[in-house]
Amino acid sequence: MSASIEIPCDITPHPVTGMYNGKFGVWLFLASEVMLFGALFSSYILLRVGAPEAGPLAWPDYRTNHLNVPLATVNTMVLILSSVTVVFAWYYLQLHKFAAARACLLATIGLALVFMVIKYFEYSHKFHDGLYPSTHNFYAVYFTLTGLHGLHVLGGIIVFAYLVGPGAAMWKYNPAKFTNRIECAGLYWHFVDLVWIFLFPSIYLL
Amino acid sequence: MSTHAAAQAHAGHDQHGSGHDHHAHSSWWRTYVFSTDHKTIGIQYTITALCFLAFGFGLMLIMRWQLAYPSDPIPLIGGLLGKSLVESGVLTGQGYNALGAMHGTIMVFMAIVPLAVGGFGNYVVPLMVGAQDMAFPRLNMASYWVFLPGGLIMLASFFMPGGPAASGWTSYPPLSNIATMGQTAWLIGMIFLITSSLLGSVNFIVTIVQLRAPGLSMFRLPFFVWAQFVTAFLLLLAFPPLEAAGVLQLMDRVAGTSFFMPQGLVVSQKLHEAVGGGSPLLWQHLFWFLAHPEVYVLILPALGIVSEVIAANTRKPLWGYKSLVYAALFLGFMSFIVWAHHMFMTGMGTTLSTFFQITTMIISIPSVIVLTALIISYHGASIRYSVPMLFATAFLPMFAIGGLTGLPLGLTASDIHLHDTYYVIGHFHYVVAPGTIFAMFAGIYHWFPKVTGRMMNRTLGLIHFWFSFIFINGVFMPMFFMGMAGALRRQYDPEAQLHAETVQGLSRMVSYSAWCLAAVQIPFVINFFRSIWSGQPASQNPWQATTLEWAAPSPPPHGNFAQVPTVHCGPYEYSVPGERRDFCPQFEAREA
Amino acid sequence: MNGAPYGRWLPWNASEHGGQIDSLIDVIHWFMLILFVGWGIFFVYCLVRFRQKPGRNAAYELPKGAASKYAEVGVAIFEGFLLFGLSVPLWSRYKTAPPPPEKRMDVTAIGEQFAWNFHYPGKDGKYGRLDPTLISSSNLLGLDKDGDPAAEDDIVSPELHVPLNQDVYVRIRSKDVIHSFAIPAMRVKQDAVPGMEVPVWFKPTRSSDEFREAMAREYSLDQPTPLFNKKKAGLILMEDYPASGEPVAHKGDALVNATVEKLLAAGIKTVRAAPRATMEVVCAQLCGMNHYSMKAPLFVDTPEQFEAWKTAQSAEIEIDLE
């Protein structure tokens, strides 16, 4: 006789950790993401500190780096706004207002797409000006870090698209778990937002 | 091996029909290939890792030919190897480096870690914590199906123009930046393998923290689970910097950036096109930040397995269980701040090198504690010399040799002479080959009855053990003498240098031992497959052990336990005075 | 020291600081041996004494003993001694106090795939400018002979010659990938990282002649001659042959086929010979497919030999300049 598989704390929080499995898992995942971006930021600092004062290898600062600060500022706003809409989605789900939550998620996806489009314009403008990753290590850092961040945004878009699309079916038979999923996706999304908030000043404004 | 488990899993499924994981239809694909059952995934990992282990060992056997008989054509298979490795039957310098790099990569990332964590961890941890499955069964499946392509990409690189990566398993730039295409495949493969470990480690931590059976407090967990717990944290936090480094090196190779390229590099008397401004040492820092914790990823699960086997076969509680746990936690923590002892020869100043020498000496203390506790556990025991116990017992002195020989390497002054010599090879192989791999064998013999419901043959096991024990020492012991004499590692021609010529006899002895070691694995392979089908049937608890995996039927059905067990005591209640039997399982309440 | 310079344990030490490294290695290995044997005796005793026997049960609890604590604390203390008593002082003495410029011999070792080149500053004691854009197969280091007067007398050599009993100060550099400058006989090892220049220093205390004398042995000339061409070390004669009368081959002559033929013609069947290069600078960091072949001969010369070598090198430069 075999019982059906019952995984504890799948939906309800664990009495000691206060988290259900998914949330705990996402926090652990984010810890590893912190190490990933931490390593990249450290590399950036090391290369910048090690760069010569003058000459072709000197590190450009915000006056000379040819980055488009207004566009990036807009992007920062867009991303912060998308974080807010995720929170609202989760909030509406807890109030069992699925339609409103769905609208908020669609807004999040829309904003993320706006971010990517702006990014596309930024990148193509750099290429047009002949600034490639191989031009200087500053651009290497710029393209690698913002590119990796862009991949994270893309990952977020896919996750949210799944959750408003086929994944939304879960709302019907397991609303609590669906709400948890939105919370987990939201945690990830806030992290992606946070990475950008570190990237923006350290690359564009320094 | 999976027939029994799968059949029962199958039966279990049909009964509950629309259970929690209603996605898992009992199709053949779902049961054997894309299974979410931690036991099936564990078996998949084990089989795959054992194949990679054999493959990686095979690469070394080819290299050992060149080291025993420099520039003689390789017998039998010399003609079969591709142009990137051999020329008219003789291994080339490039081919030798490629085999060396792939041997290291395969053994570390595709054999030992998947075997220790993916295999043993996946199969045993949920059972030991009394859970029906891992916390995220589908994530678990994904972790295997990300691992496999990573491994296959690595293998595919053997067929690329220029052959596979040949810059050592450490892939130091600028050499790796200017290497052939195989290096790109290596980097992409690594990114897959890292992602896989990441998914696995999240799963392990959540499972161990959240899914423990009632009554199973953290300090009632078997040491094996603790070892896996610390290992999971190491994988979770140490691997991402390597992933970052991999991304940067990939950019250097593909997009022409200069993260690791300094200015004014002249390759083959031509100025390199990279603009420069990068730092080759940056890679080493990022790499070793992973790779030192990685050492403990390789050894902690092994210590865990050995502890379980020793406790069950000495018939007494492990000595100093709590200090073992604290030692493991401390090891895990310290392993993050010793990495630069791999870089003493890069031109490090006194302050920095003193710091890393101190941390290196400190990290040796918990290792000494663990070893001492395990050895004292034999005192006053009633030792049952089963085959797994023999492997576990042999593990201890050989691991001690591996640990002790780390001392002269951890001190900068003595490291000057020994750095990058065969002494280093001997040292870390004693830790991971006679160490971890012996522990893996102990684990296979120990849990085989649980997994298959059948015992492995003892006579074949004894043959396997004794000859492996002799030959594995024959492989690695001479390396210390070679290293002392100054013979350097990664040398295609073992006689090219004055100080190495005099130890060529030893080198040849290593080769003979390695080939013999390969030959004596045949009894194991025969035993393994024969026992799956015709081994003596095993009871639920053939070793009369106390931990929770023995509460489940052998093999455990889908969902593991007929009833989720309740835990009544610590993990190693053996020979409790006044008890009827010499063991009190965690899952049985005592009368008194 | 007896026997051959190279064997199955530490090679002969030819430097001043090397002796301390060797004794550290010795101390550590005695410590390891004592620990291992101590553990081993206890372990083997347990394995035999406590094997399963009918009628005897294992002890649930061990009598409380502090022996393991003492052992662990002892190990920790001894490790502390190794670290702070031996290793750190040795390393800092060796790494932080370079010999003063006026007392040392300066040279730069530059690694490339797969060779070492040595750049001596020449008579003026000043290194000439190296320009990577000038590098070609005839100017391996890119020495700016036309643009920099300091470069004119610089010596660039594929062999490292150092004077006996004088401090040698070597700047280590690399042109392409990471190499490692290693001299086993001197207990010297330092990575050559491109883009960095790291110095090492050592004081040779044993000459190449001393090594060569110890490595000399009788070679039979009756063997097929290609043997001598194959021999990687490159043998030279240790004395004149024949010993009396007009020699057909002199001490120091390379034992190549032509010499062997002359000797055989003179009726000489065996000779005493030794490798010309008795010490080597090797590369200890994987640097590509021919990594194993990356080595340079090291000669520890007496002052006279060293001067003679420098003069010969300078003469070559003069010819080049003309």
Specify the CATH architecture of the domain C101-207+279-321.
Sandwich (2.60)
Cα distance between residue C33 and residue C40, in whole Å: 10
Q: Using DSSP bridges, classify how beta strands C217-220 and C270-275 pair: parallel, antiparallel or unpaired.
A: antiparallel
* The overall pTM is greater than 0.80: yes
What residues form DSSP beta bridges with C218?
C272
What integer best gives the mean pLDDT of chain C? Answer: 88
Per-residue burial over B502-535, b = 16 or more CB atoms within 10 Å of its CB, e = otherwise: bbbebbbbbbebbebbbebbebbeebbeebbeeb
- Residue C294, chain B, CB below 8 Å: the answer is no
What single DSSP character describes residue C245? S
Q: Which of B257, B289, B559 sits opposite A137 (nearest CB)?
A: B257
Structure tokens at B393: 């017992």
Indicate yes or no: CB of C10 within 8 angstroms of CB of B485: yes
Indicate yes or no: CB of B485 within 8 angstroms of CB of C136: no
Best of A11, A12, A28 to disrupt the B interface (most B CBs within 10 Å) is A28
Higher per-residue pLDDT: B507 or A206: B507
Cα dist. C147→B45, B105, B265, C152, C320 in Å? 64, 48, 21, 9, 16
- Please say whether the beta carbons of C106 and C120 come within 8 A: yes
- Please say whether the beta carbons of C255 and C271 come within 8 A: yes
Question: What are residue B564's phi and psi, to 5 degrees?
Answer: -60, 125
H/E segment holding residue C227: helix C226-230
What single DSSP character describes residue B27? -
Cα distance between residue B196 and residue B193, in whole Å: 5
Sequence-separated contacts (24+) of A12-16 with Cβ below 8 Å:
A14/B209, A14/B210
**pLDDT in the model for residue A133:** 94
Residue ranges of B 170-189 with Cβ closer than 8 A to chain C:
172-175, 178
Lowest mean pLDDT among A98-112, B511-525, B544-558, C226-240: C226-240
User: To 5 degrees, how large is the angle CA B406–CA C73–CA B394?
Assistant: 50
- Residue B75, chain C, CB below 8 Å: the answer is no
Instruction: Say if residue B27 is exposed, middle or buried (CB neighbours under 10 Å; 0-12, 13-18, 19+).
Output: exposed
% of chain C exceeding 90 in pLDDT: 51
Place of tokens 């807890």: A94
Cα distance between residue B515 and residue B508, in whole Å: 11
Cα distance between residue C27 and residue C49, in whole Å: 33
Which domains, ranges and CATH numbers included, belong to chain A? 21-53+68-205 (1.20.120.80)
- Please say whether the beta carbons of B198 and B236 come within 8 A: yes
H/E segment holding residue B470: helix B458-484
Quick one: how far is CA B113 from the chain centroid?
4
Amino acid present at B177:
N
Neighboring chains of C (3 or more beta-carbon pairs < 8 A): B
Give C61's pLDDT tier (boundaries 50, 70, 90).
confident
Cα distance between residue B50 and residue B31, in whole Å: 21
Per-residue burial over C99-121, b = 16 or more CB atoms within 10 Å of its CB, e = otherwise: eeeeebbbbbbbbbbbbbbbbbb
pLDDT tens, per residue, chain B with 592 residues = 344 444 444 443 433 433 444 444 568 888 888 999 999 999 999 999 999 999 999 999 999 999 999 989 999 888 888 888 999 889 999 999 999 999 999 999 999 999 999 999 999 999 999 999 999 999 999 999 999 999 999 999 999 988 999 999 999 999 999 999 999 999 999 999 999 999 999 999 999 999 999 999 999 999 999 999 999 999 999 999 999 999 999 999 999 999 999 988 999 888 898 888 999 999 999 999 988 999 999 999 999 999 999 999 999 999 889 999 999 999 999 999 999 999 999 988 788 888 999 999 889 889 988 998 999 999 999 999 999 999 999 999 999 999 999 999 999 999 999 999 999 999 999 999 999 999 999 999 999 999 999 999 999 999 999 999 999 999 999 999 999 999 999 999 988 888 888 899 999 999 999 999 999 999 999 999 999 999 999 999 999 999 999 999 999 999 999 888 999 999 999 999 988 888 999 999 886 5
Amino acid present at C78:
F
Indicate yes or no: CB of B16 within 8 angstroms of CB of A3: yes
Residues 6+ apart with CB under 8 A from C30: none
DSSP C165-223: TSEEEEEEEESSS-EEEEEGGGTEEEEE-TT--EEEEE-B-S-HHHHHHHH-EEEETTS
**pLDDT in the model for residue B12:** 39
- Residue A24, chain B, CB below 8 Å: the answer is yes
| Strands of the C217-220 sheet, one edge to the other | C217-220, C270-275, C235-237
Q: Flag whether pLDDT at A1 surpasses 60.
A: no
- Residue B132, chain A, CB below 8 Å: the answer is yes
CB < 8 Å to C135, chain B: 266, 269, 271
The alpha-carbon gap from C166 to the nearest alpha carbon of chain B, in Å, equals 21
Place of tokens 């730069």: C108
Using the Cα atoms of residue B482, residue B487, residue B489 and residue B493 in order, give the sign of their dihedral.
negative
Cα dist. A19→A14, A31, A184, B210, B242 in Å? 5, 16, 11, 9, 29
**C2-38 pLDDT, tens per residue?**
578 888 889 999 999 999 999 999 999 999 999 999 9
Q: Using DSSP bridges, classify how beta strands C217-220 and C235-237 pair: parallel, antiparallel or unpaired.
A: unpaired
- Residue A45, chain B, CB below 8 Å: the answer is no
Q: Flag whether pLDDT at C1 surpasses 60.
A: no
CB < 8 Å to C187, chain B: 416-417
Give C73's pLDDT tier (boundaries 50, 70, 90).
confident
**C190-212 pLDDT, tens per residue?**
999 999 999 999 999 999 999 99
Q: What residue spans define the domains of chain C? A: 11-50+67-95, 101-207+279-321
**C269-297 pLDDT, tens per residue?**
888 988 889 999 999 999 999 999 999 99
Indicate yes or no: CB of A57 within 8 angstroms of CB of B277: yes
Q: What are the respective helix, strand and coil percentages of chain C, to the nearest 5?
A: 35, 25, 40
Cα distance between residue B248 and residue C209, in whole Å: 50
DSSP B101-153: HHHHHIIIIIIIHIIIIIIIIHHHHHHHTT-SS-S-HHHHHHHHHHHHHHHHH
Structure tokens at B423: 């002494």
Residue ranges of B 215-274 with Cβ closer than 8 A to chain A:
236-241, 243-245, 247-248, 251, 255-259, 263, 274
- Residue B352, chain C, CB below 8 Å: the answer is no
**pLDDT in the model for residue B592:** 55
Per-residue burial over C76-90, b = 16 or more CB atoms within 10 Å of its CB, e = otherwise: bebbeebbeebbbeb
Q: Please count the CA atoms within 13 angstroms of the CA of C57 that sit on its side-chain side.
A: 16
